[in-house]
Structure 1
Amino acid sequence: MTNSTATQNENTARVTADDARIDRLKERNRSTPQELDFERIRIMKEVYEATPGDVQILRRAKFLAALLERKKLFIDDNLFVGAMAGSYKAIYPNPEWNVLWMKEEKTVEKSKTKEDKEANAWALEYWDERGLKSRTESIFQQRYGFDPAPCYESGLVVPFHDWPGGGGNLNYPMVYQQGLASVIKDVEERMMSLEMRLENTDKLYFYQASLIVMKAMIRWANRYAELAREMAAKEKDEVRKAELIAIAETCEHVPEHPARNLREVMQCHFFCHLAAELEQVGCGYSEAYLGQNLQPYYQADKDAGLIDYDDAVFMFQNLVVRLNEINYYYGEKVALQNSADLGQSITLAGYTEEGGDATAEMDYVILDACTYLSFPQPPLSCALTPKTPGKFLEKVLDCIGTGVGMPQFVNADVMVERALYLWGNTERNGALPLGKARRTCVGACVGSYIPYETGHPVEGQPNLGKVLELTLNNGFDPRTKKQVGPKTGDPETFKDFEELYAAFEGQLQFAEDVLRRGAWIASMLNADFLPCTWRSILTKGCIETGLETWKGGANYYTVAQISVGAVDAGNGLMAIKDLVFDKKKLPMAELKKALAANFEGEYEKVHKMCYEDVPKYGNDIDEVDFMVRRVNDSVLRAFESVDGGGNYISKDIKTSMDQYTKSVHNLMGLVTGALPTGKRAGVALTDGSLSAMPGTDTHGATALIMSATKGNDPVKWCATHMNLKLPPDQLKTRKGRDSVLNLVRTLFQNGGYHAQFNVLDTEMLRDAQKHPENYRDLVVRVAGFSAFFTQLHVGVQNEVIERTLQRC
């Protein structure tokens, strides 16, 4: 960019900071309740009834285009326009994946108009057997000869086909750097160059769908421009009139043409992001190195005298408010699973392609904007390198000190090494350039991927706590009273710990088989009838190959199978080894009776033995730390052993797993009984993947991070995750701040990948449970994301409260 380019549209670019407006926008966001809007289903009904003979990718493209053309628009006091639904903070139901929750929660009865009732009734009937959940489970039963439902009902695995899957860092920069008009021309040329042969059928349809969607994107922006001009014509206040005209000029230019200034690039970015959420919401669409992508536009506007630093902060605050208006709902179970986390992650700092410090002034802007607002979205990540400026790290600590639990720290060196290990050499792309590996960034919650060109199908989550419970019950689930897993033997007959561990691995392999096979069926069905054209346009490789991302068009792939409960399994196995087999203090029969009784009554003494007398992960004790590592290594082997490993696209595509929990550790804890760790029935599992079981990390913060360095191999996993809880005054002194940074550096120097901090008063959290009306704006870090504390399920609240308070 040049200064002359930035001043082509000076009226549109000029913005002045306004703190009072930000306060109003923040208050409106917090005080406006969410409601279901059935506009999307009404439009879907009409499009689907009109297109029964279309191939699905064209049908879905026409549906998205109709939604963008017909959805109700509004313009409020935010600098940027765009909303998920037809009214402020409203959310659309998405019946294509699963209508069971709509039946259970009686959405037809909640419909306010005759048209909404008819559309809801149509959706329930149409998607009842066509939805992803019902079709996946039906095909699974036909293919593998048994019903997987007991595995889901027991909580052994949490599948993804109840809700949309996929995500990653989409190529928004392509749109604001090139403009959609240029991309349309490229796609038209590629489509017209195709020979009319059977082998090109999918490519032809993909290009046709791409043209439909991109033209609809331009039309959608122009609709906002038309509305802004209509409002400006009636506006008497000259300041507001000028603002509306600026909105109109912005929306007339982007996304059709390349952005010319910071305001246009932010609006273009949000249009791209919002359209991805409209196409398939709730998928962890992250925003890569957003500050660094915005830096050239910011610098040009600043050099031209159009904005200053504070103006840029104000602009980004407007964007943050918009990001916090996006939401989704798929029923109570998914709400427990995800706590409405959207994974709109932004990565800060990191490396340049040449290996230098990549921190941009816009990274500082983002930190200041997010620190002031203290909203849970977007999650921020500091990709720490030895070259990250101390001044920037002070800003990071300032933000963490507000209590919002972010930015999280991720080890940029591990991200580079991981990229080279997982994607270092592919048949399609050859050797991965080191420069590209250095620009690896966070996607979704804590995983790291190659930005803009990684497909990211989801496979769900195995419950390792339940795996251990089934192991102790010969595959039988005490809660559902069903034989869920295979009969791997009665533990009372096992002669040594290795027999028990072999049974554990047998139950684990079964869980992986059920999870992955179901996920592959669901992914193939997604490719068939729920393709994502816009997401594919924004994933490098898809336009070049003419293949949608579900069908293998992306340059690289990983999978979001998120392993949960390794620390619970490791601690539990350690307790059994120590008490039952090594020291013979507790007969297996007595342990099983205590677990069945939830450690109550006469079995409280057994609880004390399990919880207090056995070494626990998180205290730098090799034996238990390596037990957790053994569990994690077993998980990877089981993952790779399902039908030859790989994923549904090809067994030859190298993939790996994630380890974090969102809030599914609470959902899994609710359906998992008492464990030999001392966990009681219904209590949440341990958060993250390398965090300690609450209350058991008694040897201090340094011991905890040293356990984390032994508990997993972060290079072989796409994500690992550790929470620490610090007192409110930890970051108020120079000594305290240095201690936190030294702790993170020690973790990273010893090969660790991730650390995040809650800096909160435990008694305040307890009071917030009792008096939520006094803590409406209280944000805490859960596991890979932050959330308003009072909106969390009580099980998640309790788990956050019970985490050990460490002082560095």
Structure 2
Amino acid sequence: MNTLSAKTNSENQTATPKGYGIDWNTAEPRVKELKDFLMSAPQVMDPERLQFLNEVYEEFRGESTFYIRAKLFERVLTKKNIFLDGNPIVGTLTGVRAGVYAYPEWNVAWIKEEMQMAKMASLGEMKIPSETKELLEKTYKSWKGRTCIDLNNKMFKDKYGINPKNFAKCGMYYENVSVASGSGIADYPLMLNKGLRWLINDVKSRFENCPTTLQNKEKHDLYRAMLVTFEAVIAHSHRYADLAEKTAVEENDPKAKAELLEIAEICRRVPEHPARNFREAIQSFWFIHLAIEIEQMACATSPGRYGQYMYPFFKKDIDEGNLTREQVLTLLKFQWIKHLELAEYQGNSYALTLSGHTGQSITIGGVDKDGNDASTELEELLLETQIQMKNIQPTLTLLYHPKMKDSYLKKVSECIRGGSGQPQILNNNAVIQRTLARFAQYDEGITLEDARNCGNYGCVSTGVCGKGSFITQEDQPCLAKVVELMLNNGKCPVTKKKVGVESGNPAEFETFDDVYNAYKIQLDHLFNMSRKHSDLSQMARVQVVPSVFRSAMYDGCIEKGICEEAGGTRYPQVNPIMTAGIDAANSLLAIRYLVFETKQLTMQQLLDAIKSNFEGCEDIRKMCFEAPKHGNDVLEVQEFVQQYYRDVDSIHHAQGPDCFGYRTPLDAYSLSYHNYFGALMGALPNGRKAGVALTDGSVSAMPGTDHEGITSLIKSGAEAIDTVRYGANHFNVKFSPAVLDGPNGTRTLISLIKTYCDFGGSHIQFNCVSSETLKAAQVDPTDYSDLVVRVAGFSAYFTRLDCGVQNEIIKRTEYAS
């Protein structure tokens, strides 16, 4: 018997909960209608923000950047079109349903380069109305040369005498400053329990008492701007209150009228004042989350440990009979709709790298401040919501630890087996240990309590909830590209540009050490260029697009009077994300094995075959593909992969501290960059052909090369990388759905999770969709429009993915036992 239903039936026998003013009889049909609309309607680029952007930057010319950004934020929230669509949780990103805003302050090159191309956003096809195109053209002319990436590249060229665009064009790294960034977990509990009016009083006091000296100018400007944003968010909520009241006057249905009047009452109260119950808390949360996204809609603004800070409101309403668990479940479904509505578009290349991922991760499980199991009943409802909704957003992440109850893990297993690839699993012990290690170098260090309060944001990264942000994201280097540069003595064979350094003619290398040393020379150059570009990019962010409201949502920024981009949070983070490490390691292993150990090939034969993309050299390609590979628990392979990742780490840290002066660890995962970079590269010694997607993740096996069984695969994945030295890593496993069916399937999955974490693994996620189903979806996408797969730290609708990513997922080894 379903536990949730059993509890609800028992409640209904003893009392009839109030349920607030929601018309529960129509609630579930409304959820379906809202989801159906999002899944069928194309997303539309709304021109509102472009108009506001041009107006505000002209009107407030001469003001501080903080103030201009705050007034733009205010203009959007107080002037954007608002509407009610049947969702009792109100507030949308744009003025249209399924809308997308453009954020050209970061980059306008895509406007010219891609206007005639098909556009893809979070849910697939995106349309740009004619009036929006006109505004885009105007915005392009006014912002060309002034954007974040423009300033970044100008500073780089002025300082180092090199045009950095060639590095990005050939696929050495992706320029993250060319798109809005927003990763992190805000202090949602503070806003729910204190409210914005409390924050206004706090910042107003600091502003009034801030000495008016030149030394305090930045602090003075930031406080002044913050106050504008707080009032704007309150005005935004009051606009919805006015709209709901006006709509209620014209509504004849008494239940619908009651719901509208309740929406008005709630929006008059939150987020200005503390929430008093779950209904108010869920709306307050949404207004804050939405405001952060509106300021700069970007990947990885995550709710964090939602099941922890919302639990007191949930328990109060359950205990007082205000809501049933079924009603809470329905409210959560409405919230799931709100997360799915959020979308971004910042150019086609960016769409290819993220595959529609908006990175709104909810963290479940973990431990409390004393180290005890922190899982809650509300989190089980979050899992049930995902089981029923099968959304790609929000995503769920489980912080696994050995003290978890089996009943809770069974619910986790049920959700994973449901086919949405959620939740992904993070080893909580590894997360805590690396958090302690990372922030021990900071002046104030870090407490164990803070380390235990980590959450996942975006893909697989972690940070301290409410105290650490990852908005400062370095460029993302491609480690497989380094193999290509090494084999061509620093020249990119695709663009024909000399983007690397002289590392020697590979045909003349006499030992594998010569090969590996040449690789490390090229890698050092890549990391050096990437670090220099990234450090300057942070200066560009502070100068052009500092966040104001978002900064106030993190501990430290208000106290220091420093924005998030400049390091104002308690635990500022810089996270360089590197991709395709396994492709690089496997390629080096193939060279070692085929050229120097077994001498089946000369280096020249291998170079010629790669140059021809293995055309007419299928026998050599077969040898390359069958050479020893990661994922099979072979000792000498594992030792090399481990050494390789240690060397990558050492060369990265040899570049010196990050822009904040700290030793920053590498994150190792792919998002969809493995597809983006793969399209920019030629063939590799691991047997991969030109243009094909690289291997996902950082410890996943190259598709089709893990042939020693699931235990060997997970042991290889768990042992490949130091989970403390690296900030994050990423591991994909694909199962046939039949393997995980029934009680035995549940036990198998739970056992696998425990075993992987016992081996010391940091991250694991599962696809439970057969290759046959995926191939059928490629043939007839209409029949599989809601098919969800796990890509790389996130889920996506399969039929809306780029073909390269689809094919890579299909090729992953499918375990049938």
- In the alignment, is the contact (CA less than 8 A) between 1:726 and 1:760 conserved in 2? yes
Q: Are residues 1:786 and 2:795 paired?
A: yes
Residue type of the partner of 1:494?
F
Cα distance change, pair 50–680 in 1 and its aligned pair in 2 (3 A): same
- The alpha-carbon deviation at position 37 of structure 1 amounts to 0.8
Corresponding position of 1:552: 567
Corresponding position of 1:437: 451
Q: Are residues 1:606 and 2:636 paired?
A: no
Corresponding position of 1:6: none
TM-score normalised over the length of structure 2? 0.95
Residue type of the partner of 2:542?
A
Q: What is the alpha-carbon distance in structure 2 between the residues aligned to residue 11 and residue 732 of structure 1?
A: 36
Corresponding position of 1:5: none
Residue type of the partner of 2:522?
Q
- In the alignment, is the contact (CA less than 8 A) between 1:626 and 1:710 conserved in 2? no
- In the alignment, is the contact (CA less than 8 A) between 2:485 and 2:500 conserved in 1? yes
Cα distance change, pair 778–752 in 1 and its aligned pair in 2 (3 A): same
Q: What is the alpha-carbon distance in structure 2 between the residues aligned to residue 151 and residue 118 of structure 1?
A: 32
Cα deviation per residue 1:333-358 (whole Å; 9 max; x = unaligned)?
Answer: 11111112111001111101111110
Q: Are residues 1:483 and 2:483 paired?
A: no
Residue type of the partner of 1:405?
G
- The alpha-carbon deviation at position 807 of structure 1 amounts to 3.8
Corresponding position of 1:724: 733
Map 1:86-485; keep pairs closer than 5 Å.
Answer: 86-106=95-115, 112=129, 116=132, 119-427=135-443, 429-430=444-445, 432-456=446-470, 457-485=472-500
Residue type of the partner of 2:763?
H
Cα distance change, pair 112–153 in 1 and its aligned pair in 2 (3 A): closer
Cα deviation per residue 1:614-645 (whole Å; 9 max; x = unaligned)?
Answer: 21100001222222222222222222222x22
Cα distance change, pair 104–483 in 1 and its aligned pair in 2 (3 A): same
Corresponding position of 2:646: 633
Cα deviation per residue 1:444-493 (whole Å; 9 max; x = unaligned)?
Answer: 11111111111211112111111101101101111111111001111111
Of all paired residues, the percent bearing the same amino acid is 38
Q: Are residues 1:712 and 2:715 paired?
A: no
- The alpha-carbon deviation at position 108 of structure 1 amounts to 13
Which of the numbers 666, 672, 676 marks the counterpart of 2:675?
666
Q: What is the alpha-carbon distance in structure 2 between the residues aligned to residue 591 and residue 800 of structure 1?
A: 28
- The alpha-carbon deviation at position 13 of structure 1 amounts to 6.8
Q: Are residues 1:55 and 2:68 paired?
A: no
- The alpha-carbon deviation at position 22 of structure 1 amounts to 1.9
Q: What is the alpha-carbon distance in structure 1 between the residues aligned to residue 117 and residue 248 of structure 2?
A: 39
Q: Are residues 1:758 and 2:771 paired?
A: no
Which of the numbers 80, 89, 99 marks the counterpart of 1:80?
89
- In the alignment, is the contact (CA less than 8 A) between 1:15 and 1:306 conserved in 2? no
- In the alignment, is the contact (CA less than 8 A) between 1:730 and 1:737 conserved in 2? no
Map 1:34-49; keep pairs closer than 5 Å.
Answer: 34-49=43-58
Q: What is the DSSP-based 3-state SS (H/G/I as helix, E as strand, rest coil) of the residue aligned with 1:155?
A: coil
Residue type of the partner of 1:671?
L
Cα distance change, pair 676–57 in 1 and its aligned pair in 2 (3 A): same
Cα distance change, pair 117–659 in 1 and its aligned pair in 2 (3 A): closer
Q: Are residues 1:648 and 2:659 paired?
A: yes
Cα distance change, pair 194–107 in 1 and its aligned pair in 2 (3 A): farther
Cα distance change, pair 751–176 in 1 and its aligned pair in 2 (3 A): same
Q: What is the alpha-carbon distance in structure 2 between the residues aligned to residue 10 and residue 506 of structure 1?
A: 68
Q: What is the alpha-carbon distance in structure 2 between the residues aligned to residue 13 and residue 184 of structure 1?
A: 30
Q: What is the alpha-carbon distance in structure 1 between the residues aligned to residue 279 and residue 374 of structure 2?
A: 22
Residue type of the partner of 1:127?
W
Cα deviation per residue 1:307-328 (whole Å; 9 max; x = unaligned)?
Answer: 0111111001000001000001
Q: What is the DSSP-based 3-state SS (H/G/I as helix, E as strand, rest coil) of the residue aligned with 2:751?
A: helix
- In the alignment, is the contact (CA less than 8 A) between 2:352 and 2:802 conserved in 1? yes
Q: What is the alpha-carbon distance in structure 2 between the residues aligned to residue 278 and residue 288 of structure 1?
A: 18
Q: Are residues 1:513 and 2:538 paired?
A: no
Q: What is the alpha-carbon distance in structure 1 between the residues aligned to residue 133 and residue 732 of structure 2?
A: 45
- The alpha-carbon deviation at position 666 of structure 1 amounts to 0.5
Q: What is the alpha-carbon distance in structure 1 between the residues aligned to residue 133 and residue 805 of structure 2?
A: 35
- In the alignment, is the contact (CA less than 8 A) between 2:18 and 2:323 conserved in 1? no
Give the count of matched residue pairs. 791
Q: What is the DSSP-based 3-state SS (H/G/I as helix, E as strand, rest coil) of the residue aligned with 1:560?
A: coil
- The alpha-carbon deviation at position 15 of structure 1 amounts to 6.9
- The alpha-carbon deviation at position 127 of structure 1 amounts to 1.2
- In the alignment, is the contact (CA less than 8 A) between 2:21 and 2:258 conserved in 1? no
Corresponding position of 1:561: 576
Q: What is the DSSP-based 3-state SS (H/G/I as helix, E as strand, rest coil) of the residue aligned with 1:763?
A: helix
Q: What is the DSSP-based 3-state SS (H/G/I as helix, E as strand, rest coil) of the residue aligned with 2:494?
A: coil
Residue type of the partner of 1:279?
E
- The alpha-carbon deviation at position 754 of structure 1 amounts to 0.8
Cα deviation per residue 1:2-43 (whole Å; 9 max; x = unaligned)?
Answer: xxxxxxx97857674733222222212212210111110001
- The alpha-carbon deviation at position 96 of structure 1 amounts to 0.6
Which of the numbers 28, 35, 41 marks the counterpart of 2:37?
28
- The alpha-carbon deviation at position 107 of structure 1 amounts to 8.3
- In the alignment, is the contact (CA less than 8 A) between 2:718 and 2:756 conserved in 1? yes
Q: What is the alpha-carbon distance in structure 2 between the residues aligned to residue 796 and residue 342 of structure 1?
A: 17
Residue type of the partner of 1:363?
E
Cα distance change, pair 433–779 in 1 and its aligned pair in 2 (3 A): same
Residue type of the partner of 2:389?
L
Q: What is the alpha-carbon distance in structure 2 between the residues aligned to residue 170 and residue 243 of structure 1?
A: 30
TM-score normalised over the length of structure 1? 0.96
Q: What is the alpha-carbon distance in structure 2 between the residues aligned to residue 741 and residue 121 of structure 1?
A: 54
Q: What is the DSSP-based 3-state SS (H/G/I as helix, E as strand, rest coil) of the residue aligned with 1:383?
A: strand
Contiguous gaps of at least 5 residues in structure 1? 1-8
- The alpha-carbon deviation at position 660 of structure 1 amounts to 1.2
Corresponding position of 2:815: 806
Cα deviation per residue 1:195-247 (whole Å; 9 max; x = unaligned)?
Answer: 12221111111111110000100001000100111100111111111111111
- In the alignment, is the contact (CA less than 8 A) between 1:409 and 1:756 conserved in 2? yes
Q: What is the alpha-carbon distance in structure 1 between the residues aligned to residue 595 and residue 266 of structure 2?
A: 70
Q: What is the DSSP-based 3-state SS (H/G/I as helix, E as strand, rest coil) of the residue aligned with 1:764?
A: helix
Q: What is the DSSP-based 3-state SS (H/G/I as helix, E as strand, rest coil) of the residue aligned with 2:46?
A: coil
Residue type of the partner of 2:548?
T
Q: What is the alpha-carbon distance in structure 1 between the residues aligned to residue 116 and residue 559 of structure 2?
A: 42
Cα distance change, pair 372–618 in 1 and its aligned pair in 2 (3 A): same
Q: What is the DSSP-based 3-state SS (H/G/I as helix, E as strand, rest coil) of the residue aligned with 1:286?
A: coil
Cα deviation per residue 1:149-179 (whole Å; 9 max; x = unaligned)?
Answer: 1111110111102211241111122111100
Q: What is the alpha-carbon distance in structure 2 between the residues aligned to residue 605 and residue 675 of structure 1?
A: 15
Residue type of the partner of 2:737?
P
- The alpha-carbon deviation at position 510 of structure 1 amounts to 1.2
Q: What is the alpha-carbon distance in structure 1 between the residues aligned to residue 116 and residue 806 of structure 2?
A: 28
Q: What is the alpha-carbon distance in structure 1 between the residues aligned to residue 475 and residue 378 of structure 2?
A: 35
Q: What is the DSSP-based 3-state SS (H/G/I as helix, E as strand, rest coil) of the residue aligned with 2:462?
A: strand
Q: What is the DSSP-based 3-state SS (H/G/I as helix, E as strand, rest coil) of the residue aligned with 2:235?
A: helix
Q: What is the alpha-carbon distance in structure 1 between the residues aligned to residue 786 and residue 68 of structure 2?
A: 42
Q: What CA RMSD, in Å, does the superposition of the two structures yield over aligned residues?
A: 1.7
Cα distance change, pair 330–409 in 1 and its aligned pair in 2 (3 A): same
